[in-house]
Structure 1
């Protein structure tokens, strides 16, 4: 392993030195010059994706996300430079390049009246920025600008992502949490900030929690559905790149204040935000700072059911639950961007963002257990989830992410573009003093109605004031999850030739060091509580299951132990009560270190005016070390928890890519590509741990798998985009993925070792699959129908995916679709924008798909994420000349779409959770 690492390091260093020597100026070569600057609009807002061309040389570039452009390797002389941007008037200037000097020229574009006299105003500015970036990117990309995000009622980045073609999101407590790209599970896509993949605060996942990041903290969202060799290869579905607010061209300052209402919590929300940016010291130092605060009391009404097969193979209801949630989410987000330009060709920068989400949750749960065991064999459990007084008597889930990056952009010897970056990222989750108090009544007969249907419910009257109740658990737990990442990379880009057959070489290296730990410490104080307090809890009942419980009025209010009672217990009480460690809760603890060393080469070749090809090869060497614990409970209930020791694994991934772009016309772009990508397994799946619960029958066995392979995919993409002069586009794309070694957490009944019957759960590389998809998109104002309709427009997209298992550990090929892959996704938005008034009605649909959290052999017991229909309405009115004032109102989830899972059959509910509609209103000032 060390030899391989040294070889890779030597290769990367050698490539850099050779390129530096190759790029060094030749004494016999005439001195060359550089042209550099920034593209902005009349309001001094930067314009990313602008085309900057010198027609006489057939040479051009595209401005970056901050509006900067660089034309290097130019012979001294005078050139006519033309800048074009959809929705703006083209601008032409005559510029002179002198030897060994940089000609600095910024371009200010004005709103244009293009073909058909369509004037670009209002909401179309945001679309224009996004469309230009999509149009001029070499790879297939969907872009959403901050202006566009502001036109939708989206509180976090996940909600904004669901508007993009080919994107589906999964929800938690009514907010988008994880993103799925092109019919793949969240684990198969990466989330990056300014190109840096960020770690996950989840203990059992690599995918990033999108609800941690407020939408108003991001300047641009880029979804790269085709990755190039200079990008990280772990992006089978795609790469979601969140670009933070970067330094401005001029002073900018804006503030936001708003409130909202949720019917479940019956409380008001609070939304605050501010952004300030400017340039100092003769424009050499740029600064942009932003802050966002959200406080959102909410909740949900929930019912859950579990089914199994009886001895005759019939599906029977085994457990049912009624849950009432009250949740308050508080988000804080801070970002800072700095850059310093020593001269036009030498710049350093710093980007930092910190996100913090406090999630206070109380849950009141009624559980009906062992419903298939027959009369007199059932039981009922009534549970309160709470926390300490310091945490408002609620379970606090504190999640934090941060990313701090220091980098530089340098043009060496007027031809070699050199970019470097070092960064530190961190994600964490803390759950301090999480408490569960459960009472139970055994030996019951519980009659249920609507078994196997949408809303089963108990018809047997049950009350905590009747019957023989006893304390079943009283636990206090602490959980800590930490993931730290250090990254360093360097990129070089060297133009080799110019003109109609110009080409360039880009190469570089990256090193990433990741360290993730999970630790849970839980104690049960049931015995001590009963000995000291007896039935004291019966004096602290509180009524829950609120009036208007959305799953139905057949679920009646019940009494639970009050959270106010449970919050009073402190360290002295725990010492008095004694307590026994719950080793099962610590069985999933682990420590993982992963190092990824990458190097790449990328060659770009123009083939005349219309064709460009890009070929690349990326190598990623992964070195992994994990350790965990083995948990055992014998027939007598005696437990043990023993360390596994350290396990190591390493592998090399070679990731080729080949892309072709055909500029059929100025407005029609056709792209085709082949790429290979990967997805590394979850850390928790790679731990070589084993848990044996022989007290149960059949024996319950949970295993890790340190030999789990990364998932790989061979991807073929073909797309065509036509861009209207009036700021809009129509697009179509076809994609195919051959996914190999798809891993699932497989749960099955089988003989294992010395056990004739066991219920075994283990992550395995279970499938190879084909995934085929089609994406269609359209956005345009209706001015082409009549000039009077320029203020009305439509934004819509549709994605179809079809997957087929071609190889399975079960041996059959006629299985179901790939887990985590919805067949249909669609977005539609109708908007009006005139006189400062913007109104938008939005609809989002995703069809049902099989969940990939846990996979079972029996098709009747498989878990499916049900279809979703979301409708949102928002409106804003903006007025003012120099200072802009905006009043906005938003209504989310007008259709009251619940989160719903079903088991096997569509009408057999497994979980349904309602959140109700949400209203927000506020005021924005842009100075």
Structure 2
């Protein structure tokens, strides 16, 4: 463990002593003359462990839920004869008589099979099996969750974790170059959601955001994805929308030896490039000592290299709306060529040294390299232009060539020990994420050559204010018209690491005749994020600097004519010397630390058909930030240092009422807290003078955390195999919503004409309804009994107040929460039989606010337009162990389009085309 995380144990010495005292107290409790029931629930075929099965002691009205390895446990069971009953969606129920004796553990294993008369493997593999696994986990949870299993992930043509999650109710994604990257839960920005890997919190690799870019993690290495929408007190409280847990493979997910190997090739329609992919996972169980199958080893590896691209035309919102007709001031044509390599490795050990102790070591490493070459034609009109006008414009040709590598590492060592009355869970974990951009061409600028074009301008015209087309003279497209003017080089390194230790104690008991549970625990976590930016500028070049000497083949640009490409190696070779840009290199650097100590107490009780869970969590966060202030006028750099501390009491109440075994009502009241983004908290400050006006731009380390009070109410009905009907309403009240504004001229900033920073706003609110339904038509005659239909929709409305100062008075206006779509939906049509499985899926999300360009002027709010993506997947089993698959993504060639003011005014229009995949999988259960 590195030096940054060593202070976890120094600062947490009191915490360590408290944990040790709790362990000793728990182990010293006297034994009672009651018995215990333990067992495992698995599928008859393939021996796959089944999570989420309900197991009941009929006479005592006690209920336990099978965990990930299928294990269930009852403690403090008085001696006698009892009836155990199982309940699992998609399988026949089983009843069994058992006898419990004093101080003994009675073992009762259940092997379930699909509902009589239906497809044999309905709970093992395939679409229905995947849906069943997720629905059982959802049904048995104490709180509100949504889940997707590896079987279901494999049925969709999804490249990474974020794309797998977009299919779930209440979730949508933000894409980068057509690929899913960030996940939104119930309309909340990705920065307000937590991500864990095997239960361990993961820091984000991006310099400015808390959001974890889930496109870094390959979907091939996963076993389950679980989204928690209502937090319980034993969970970290750092999510406003939801908490996403990524679970990797475990050897105890299946009985015995398992392997799966996939080879795939894909074709990108836009660039006509082919890309390879390989993935393999395997697990097995071994016997150590006198125990049988008590050691489990699982590993997985994945490698995917994709070459693709996009074509873009954008304005960045540079429209003049002061007159009756909107006029364009600036625009860009862009061509992207991208190579993305996504690789991952997981290695997990599970060891059961005794019947009462389970130990584990879980590791997941993923690496994502994005090599991007961006060519741009940058056009600035001398006067704001209307469509069809021919006006004078300055033009620049630009090149950006950078390679960015993001890495995520998660490692956790822990276990569970079951004492007579107590269950003790313990874990030490370390996570790290990073983003590294070695020195690259951040921007090579070619301006009009005055030896060729005397006036250094062109007469240009554009048409269509949405998908903008350009009319230009022949000289505009010729390399000889331009010369190299400036090259900016840049490098960035961001590192975010976290270390945590936690211990939890659980005690099953009875209050009168009602089964109950008491749970409490503590956790200490440290987090440190560093960002280092370096920029250089080169302006003087030797030799002939005509673009002719740097140009290549004509760019294949589907949105019109573009001109020649630019050779980045030739640009680098032309650089003789570069000076450090002290201003930009200073203000982007920061070092931020957040140390959080937490403790919780919660209890649960079953009263007839009611299950009540309540408790409170306490969290205290110590925050420190250091960075630099740069005065551009005096060219002086000053160190900045900030420290503060906050603590929170976060109560929660969860209610579940079971109308019958298929129908239940849920309600929850929870509270959560999230720190502002790192760009918002950064202590970096820039002060500069422009024509006598002093302007400043800076972060605000003194921002308060966002606090949310959440209410959920819903009903779930599980009518049969792979089937559910559910409806939930939810409400969130968020305090201290953070946004950017101008404080220039206000108290404390009187000398500044402009002072851009971040402030906390008034309360923001979000209200929504979440609907989901799926059904397998098992009642139809063959072959129609393999038909599946699934659909979900989320309707959300939100409002947040932002504002600024005019003539010294604060003026406010309302906006929707950024990154929140009012409507999102999924529709899936599937079919499966013994040999074939196919699925057509459509994903929709309505427009959402991307960015507020001017806090005081709604005309310049930037929105992303509605998007609908249609995908298709087909799987065919040549044998029980060999599977072919074909996938098609973005069949309708959906574009990314953002706009300002009204949908007809372009901010960005980007086209990707479709992608096709063909592959084969070899597997053994």
Q: What is the TM-score of this pair, normalised by structure 2?
A: 0.91
Structure 2: how far apart are the matches of 1:171 and 1:269? 20
1:249-268 alignment runs, 5 A limit: 249-268=255-274
Counterpart selection for 1:368 from 379, 385, 393:
379
1:126-525 alignment runs, 5 A limit: 126-248=130-252, 249-281=255-287, 282-305=292-315, 306-309=317-320, 315-369=326-380, 371-372=382-383, 378-386=393-401, 395-412=402-419, 414-435=420-441, 436-441=443-448, 443-450=456-463, 452-455=465-468, 457-463=470-476, 465=478, 469-497=482-510, 500-525=513-538
Q: CA deviation at 1:332?
A: 0.7
Counterpart selection for 1:74 from 61, 74, 77:
77
Q: CA deviation at 1:645?
A: 2.7
Could you say what secondary structure the match of 1:800 adopts? strand
Counterparts in 2 of 1:264 and 1:749: CA distance versus 1, 3 Å: farther
CA contact (8 A) 2:339 2:372 kept: yes
CA contact (8 A) 1:39 1:68 kept: no
Q: CA deviation at 1:228?
A: 0.6
Q: Which residue number in structure 2 is paired with residue 827 of structure 1?
A: 826
Counterpart selection for 1:886 from 883, 890, 910:
883
Q: CA deviation at 1:748?
A: 8.2
Q: Which residue number in structure 2 is paired with residue 389 of structure 1?
A: none
Q: CA deviation at 1:11?
A: 8.1
CA contact (8 A) 1:41 1:47 kept: no
Cα deviation code 1:500-549 (max 9, x no counterpart) = 5111111111111111111111211222x2xx2342653231234315x1
Structure 1: how far apart are the matches of 2:621 and 2:565? 50
Moved more, 62-71 or 319-328: 62-71
Could you say what secondary structure the match of 2:431 adopts? strand
Structure 2: how far apart are the matches of 1:802 and 1:820? 12
Q: Which residue number in structure 1 is paired with residue 725 of structure 2?
A: 730
Counterparts in 2 of 1:6 and 1:717: CA distance versus 1, 3 Å: farther
Cα deviation code 1:733-775 (max 9, x no counterpart) = 0001111111123368877978788444312213422211001
Q: Which residue number in structure 1 is paired with residue 908 of structure 2?
A: 911
Structure 1: how far apart are the matches of 2:269 and 2:120? 47
CA contact (8 A) 2:484 2:547 kept: no
Structure 2: how far apart are the matches of 1:582 and 1:373? 34
Could you say what secondary structure the match of 1:253 adopts? strand
CA contact (8 A) 2:466 2:909 kept: no
Could you say what secondary structure the match of 1:871 adopts? strand
Structure 1: how far apart are the matches of 2:813 and 2:467? 28
Could you say what secondary structure the match of 2:535 adopts? strand
Counterparts in 2 of 1:451 and 1:629: CA distance versus 1, 3 Å: farther
CA contact (8 A) 2:583 2:632 kept: no
Q: CA deviation at 1:196?
A: 1.5
Structure 2: how far apart are the matches of 1:648 and 1:847? 41
Structure 1: how far apart are the matches of 2:61 and 2:512? 5
Counterpart selection for 1:559 from 564, 568, 575:
564
Could you list the runs of 5+ residues in structure 2 that have no partner in the other structure?
1-8, 449-454
Q: CA deviation at 1:38?
A: 4.8
Q: CA deviation at 1:112?
A: 2.0
Counterparts in 2 of 1:584 and 1:22: CA distance versus 1, 3 Å: closer
Moved more, 369-378 or 74-83: 369-378
CA contact (8 A) 2:113 2:120 kept: no
CA contact (8 A) 1:746 1:854 kept: no
Q: CA deviation at 1:783?
A: 3.4
Q: CA deviation at 1:220?
A: 0.7
Q: 1:88 and 2:55 equivalent?
A: no
Structure 1: how far apart are the matches of 2:840 and 2:119? 27
Counterpart selection for 2:701 from 700, 703, 706:
706
Q: Which residue number in structure 2 is paired with residue 392 of structure 1?
A: none
Moved more, 53-62 or 692-701: 692-701
Moved more, 468-477 or 722-731: 468-477
Counterpart selection for 2:50 from 35, 47, 58:
47
Structure 2: how far apart are the matches of 1:310 and 1:259? 48
Q: CA deviation at 1:787?
A: 6.1
Q: CA deviation at 1:697?
A: 8.4
Structure 2: how far apart are the matches of 1:628 and 1:458? 47
- State the aligned residue count: 893
Structure 1: how far apart are the matches of 2:632 and 2:813? 39
Q: Which residue number in structure 1 is paired with residue 592 of structure 2?
A: 592
Structure 2: how far apart are the matches of 1:807 and 1:385? 35
Moved more, 441-450 or 508-517: 441-450
CA contact (8 A) 1:805 1:813 kept: no
Structure 2: how far apart are the matches of 1:451 and 1:117? 57
CA contact (8 A) 2:19 2:503 kept: no
Q: 1:58 and 2:61 equivalent?
A: yes
Q: CA deviation at 1:194?
A: 1.4
Q: CA deviation at 1:308?
A: 4.7
Q: Which residue number in structure 2 is paired with residue 646 of structure 1?
A: 641
Could you say what secondary structure the match of 1:265 adopts? coil
Q: CA deviation at 1:49?
A: 0.3
CA contact (8 A) 1:512 1:597 kept: yes
CA contact (8 A) 1:186 1:207 kept: yes
Q: CA deviation at 1:904?
A: 1.5
Structure 2: how far apart are the matches of 1:753 and 1:443? 45
Could you list the runs of 5+ residues in structure 1 that have no partner in the other structure?
387-394
Q: CA deviation at 1:6?
A: 11
CA contact (8 A) 1:524 1:580 kept: yes
Structure 2: how far apart are the matches of 1:204 and 1:108? 50
Q: Which residue number in structure 2 is paired with residue 390 of structure 1?
A: none
Q: CA deviation at 1:342?
A: 1.0
Structure 2: how far apart are the matches of 1:240 and 1:915? 28
Q: Which residue number in structure 2 is paired with residue 124 of structure 1?
A: 128
CA contact (8 A) 1:542 1:562 kept: yes
Structure 2: how far apart are the matches of 1:628 and 1:313? 45
Structure 1: how far apart are the matches of 2:112 and 2:168? 28
Cα deviation code 1:694-746 (max 9, x no counterpart) = 24787553111111111111111001000012330000000011111111233
CA contact (8 A) 2:536 2:578 kept: no
Q: CA deviation at 1:318?
A: 2.2
Structure 2: how far apart are the matches of 1:428 and 1:150? 28
Q: CA deviation at 1:446?
A: 4.0
Structure 1: how far apart are the matches of 2:263 and 2:130? 22
Q: What is the TM-score of this pair, normalised by structure 1?
A: 0.91
Cα deviation code 1:297-351 (max 9, x no counterpart) = 0111111103254777975422210111000111110001111101121111000
Q: 1:546 and 2:541 equivalent?
A: no
Counterparts in 2 of 1:110 and 1:627: CA distance versus 1, 3 Å: same
Q: Which residue number in structure 2 is paired with residue 678 of structure 1?
A: 673
Cα deviation code 1:154-208 (max 9, x no counterpart) = 1111111110001110000110000111011111111111121201110000110
Counterparts in 2 of 1:31 and 1:778: CA distance versus 1, 3 Å: closer
1:754-769 alignment runs, 5 A limit: 758-769=753-764
CA contact (8 A) 1:750 1:759 kept: yes
Structure 2: how far apart are the matches of 1:22 and 1:285? 27
Counterparts in 2 of 1:579 and 1:756: CA distance versus 1, 3 Å: closer
* Root-mean-square deviation (Å): 2.9
Counterparts in 2 of 1:381 and 1:755: CA distance versus 1, 3 Å: farther
Q: Which residue number in structure 1 is paired with residue 792 of structure 2?
A: 797
